[in-house]
Chains A and B, each alone.
Chain A
Amino acid sequence: MLRTTPFHARTAALCASHAWRRWAGYVVASSYELSHSREYHAIRSAAALLDVSPLCKYLVAGRDAACLLDRMVPRDVSRAGIGQVLYTPWCDAAGKVLDDGTIARLDDNVFRVTSAEPSLRWLEANAAGLDVSIEDTSEATAALALQGPSARDILEQACGADLAGLKYFRLTPARIAGHPVTISRTGYTGDLGYEIWLDAADALPVWDALVAAGTPHGITPAGMLALDVARIEAGLMLLDVDYVSARKALVASQTSSPYELDLGWTVNLGKDTFVGRDALAAEAARGPAWRFVGIAVDWDSFERLFAEAGLAPRVPLAAWRTSVPLYAGGGQVGYATSGVWSPLLKQYIALAHVQSRWAAPGTTLEIEVTVEHRRRRAAARVVKKPFFDPERKRA
């Protein structure tokens, strides 16, 4: 049967919608309330509490721990300081992305790796001959995300420490309700926010302490539907939705390189060696064939399609996760993989793969829109990601 997370006793009691979603073999709430709307707005206006325990987590330790991770990922892990967190994809030998996640340097020779898919076998395959231990801590470690403008105030109160000094993508040990936790200033919403890593056995008292500290600030448990809107606004991609792991792809055209996913900034070709380096160096030299871009649908054009059918425009209030064709110059030039109406930006936005020549911001494309069972096309524009990038995220 499907697993429940260490917070299930709390989340199940709150889940008035009875809407659950699968995530990596666990069930998590799609939304707690009947609509995800208030949960989304909590992320942007107060603080949302999200159960992110289903993430895969590994503890990599030993003299060669940094060496292993440097072999595996395109970012420079050795240069990360203690307490630093790196977001990174990792690739197969052909330079195609297998998965993406974070690497947190907990100590000189101790790292926590998170990934979307189980990665024990891949870590071990790359550890041949190295002095390193790899422990799958996915079940033993619970994780919460506290995201939103009030997140810092709530967390400071819950752990009784000043977090002003905790910079973006840094972490610190702390205690909540007497239980040891690790707080990292990371998240999947593109807002001010933190992720809290703890022993699964301490899950309920830590949840309770955060809710108690957060209630005066409007803390709101939020489900996956709210998170999906926020992560699209933040321009953050999702495995199996926006890209296919090279491990699962049945044909080469399903795979993507970091360059093709707009993650060229994570690729450090100055490193001697890492899996996929040669292929990526060659691709960097010739330029990627595809790009992963933001798309904004032109409102007037969109509205006109509905008006022609005698209807008011209907926008997607929940994120969609299907492949939607994009056209330019008389043919299909790409496809959007996630899209949603941004309640904050008042704009219909999408994440999309487009051929490189159509990827420059400002390029005009057309996106397929189904209006009353008929396929139409609305004008759309390539825009810079993230769609929403508040100063408080880093400040």
Chain B
Amino acid sequence: MRPYDAIVIGGGHNGLVCAAYLARAGRRVLVLERRERVGGAAISDQLFPGFTFTVYSYVVSLLRPEIIRDLELPRHGLHVLPLESTLTPLANGDHLAQWSDHDQNRRALARHSPRDAEAYDEFGRTLHQMARAVKPLLGTVPPDPASLAPGDLASLARLARHFRGIGRGVFHALHKLLTMSAADYLDEWFESEALKGTKSASGIIGMLLGPCSPGTAYVLLHHYMGELDGVFRAWGFAKGGNGSVSAAIASAARARGAEIRTGAPVARVLVKNGRTTGVALESGEEIRAARVVSSADPRRTFLELVGEAHLPGELVEAVRRFRFRGASAKVNLALDALPEFTCLPGRGAHLRGAISISPSVEYLERAYDQAKYGEFSRRPYMDIVIPSMIDPSMAPPGKHVMSIFAQYAPYHLNGGWTDARREALGDAVIDTLAEYAPNLKSIILHRQVVTPADIERDVGLSEGSIFQGELSLQQLFSVRPAPGWSKYRTPVEGLYMCGSGTHPGGGVMGAPGRLAALTVLGERP
């Protein structure tokens, strides 16, 4: 049999995307997944009979449209259902609602501040323009600005032309967004605390930073770059949960000839004379290939799978300093009935969208304060969806599942994570949410709490970092994951990286997997 042209380590969405692109180009590809199933952090699981949980990641937006097109994902089962609203319940029994319909949204905001309702359109326009300005970067292999190589110069020149075309105003706005905190940036636009709180939450997702920490405004934009049907800032829910995103990509990869082996943990990358020759599994089996692409994060790839002996000291140092600091937890619930929110009782449209516990910037910053000193937030920020309201097949008829993303739950918890601490975090989440939906505790049939330590152990993401490393500016673009190694290549010839730890980073985006594949193939994106 023909030997493999490439082995992809890890069957998460980026590994699968990479494999699908390589197979599409006629390469013989093998994906090796440690667990018994593909998907990594994008899986759906029936942890309680009849109830499907979106265990880790739970919404789609950032998945690149070109990947959906190139891999024909809708033909492989991807069906994204719209999430049309965000509800922010407030402590005083009131609420802030944001809707996808312009008139409805304007009216809902004007109840809190007519100025904010007017500013909202301009804010949206500015972020749209900035998302447009930054969008080409998502599809570009980052050039090295310090390099004089023709490829780097050409790529820099293309970017320079692009940025010259975006106009002064947008450029200045972008400068602000790259340097400010989410809280300060939003203060320039809005006066309503609930609106600022909810908007700033996009700036702290997956980060051990508060909304007042500089650099968080960029993360706000990162989440704005999601595109569905050509519209920026559109979020959706994949029918069947995010496991069906992974399943669709895996199906597309297989249809193009890729092989996928599950239950096949890789122990190390084989290196000989500075070149990779394949991988060795934990079982002792060795599989040969001239090219190996790792979707594991930089720490696991370099320090565990390759080993320091094969790497320059500088890179080893940079990888050691690369910040992960997972800060996010998930609480997944099987519910006997719908939660009843005091602020908006009944089975309304608001239960088909996101529900955000983010009443003010101060609330979020206080939640961060505790995490800063190694405790989890007693009153955390939460982003909640009720998948069974969007896709009824997620739960038995009349029953529901609830996905709660909660922050902050720092990986480096004082005293470390134990079963007792995990359940205490779960209690804090439920207690806080029950303040807004008092019937919650009485309708819980099953509860799963996932801490960063669990994510690290089960999914293999270092420190439970959902982005394979913080999206802070010192870890983005030309320096992600390390200066000089932003182009998916490594010091080991034939070894590439394709995980979220590479440009442009995390979210169920798939861009690193695609760009890495194109790099392996020697194609320009």
Interface set of A (CB-CB < 8 Å, partner B): 1-3, 22, 24-25, 118-122, 124, 136, 247-248, 250
- Determine how close the nearest CB of chain B comes to the CB of A48; give it in whole angstroms: 26
**Which residues of B in the span 78-104 have a Cβ within 8 Å of any Cβ on A?**
103-104
Chain A residues in 8 Å Cβ range of B119: 121
Interface residues of B in 103-127 (CB under 8 A from A): 103-104, 106-107, 110, 114-115, 117-119, 121-122, 125
Given A118-B114, A118-B117, A124-B115, also A3-B125 (CB < 8 A):
no
Check B103–A118 contact: CB distance below 8 A. Answer: no
CA–CA, A129 and B74, complex, Å: 57
Nearest chain A CB to B256's CB is how many angstroms away?
Answer: 37
Choose one: A25, A120, A121, A248; the contact of B107 (CB below 8 Å): A25
Contact call A118/B118, Cβ cutoff below 8 A: yes
A136→B111 CA distance, assembly (Å)? 13
CA distance A121 to B118 in the complex (A): 7
B115 proximity list for chain A (CB < 8 A): 120-121, 124
Judged by a CB distance under 8 angstroms, whether B407 is at the interface is no
Alpha-carbon separation in the docked complex, A209 to B103 (Å): 32
Asked if A248 meets B129 with Cβ closer than 8 Å, knowing A2-B104, A25-B103, the reply is no
Q: List A contacts of B106 (CB < 8 A).
A: 25, 118
Contact check: which of B114, B122, B128 meets A120 at CB < 8 Å?
Answer: B114
A248–B129 Cα distance when bound, in Å, is 11
Query: In the complex, what residue of chain A is closest to B129 when comparing beta carbons?
Result: A250
Q: How far is the CB of A128 from chain B (nearest CB, A)?
A: 14
B409 CB → nearest A CB, Å: 38
List chain B positions with a Cβ less than 8 A from chain A: 103-104, 106-107, 110, 114-115, 117-119, 121-122, 125, 128-129
Q: How far is the CA of A2 from the CA of B107 in the complex (A)?
A: 8
Nearest-Cβ distance from residue A17 to partner chain B, whole angstroms: 21
Alpha-carbon distance between A2 and B103 when the two chains are bound, in angstroms: 7
Q: With A and B bound together, what is the CA distance between A50 and B467 in angstroms?
A: 56
A118 to B115, CA, bound (A): 9
CA distance A250 to B121 in the complex (A): 12
Q: How far is B116's CA from A121's CA once the two chains are assembled, in angstroms? A: 9
Chain A residues, Cβ within 8 Å of B121: 247-248
Check A1–B104 contact: CB distance below 8 A: yes
A121–B107 Cα distance when bound, in Å, is 15
Point out the residue from A1, A120, A136, A248 that lies within 8 Å of B125, measured CB to CB. Answer: A248
Residues of A within 8 A of B117 (CB): 118
- How far does the Cβ of B400 sit from chain A's closest Cβ, in whole Å? 25
Name 29 interchain pairs, CB-CB below 8 A, sorted by A.
A1-B104, A3-B107, A22-B103, A24-B103, A25-B103, A25-B104, A25-B106, A118-B106, A118-B110, A118-B114, A118-B117, A118-B118, A120-B114, A120-B115, A120-B118, A121-B114, A121-B115, A121-B118, A121-B119, A124-B115, A136-B114, A247-B121, A247-B122, A247-B125, A248-B121, A248-B125, A250-B125, A250-B128, A250-B129
Measured between beta carbons, the chain B residues less than 8 angstroms from A118 are 106, 110, 114, 117-118
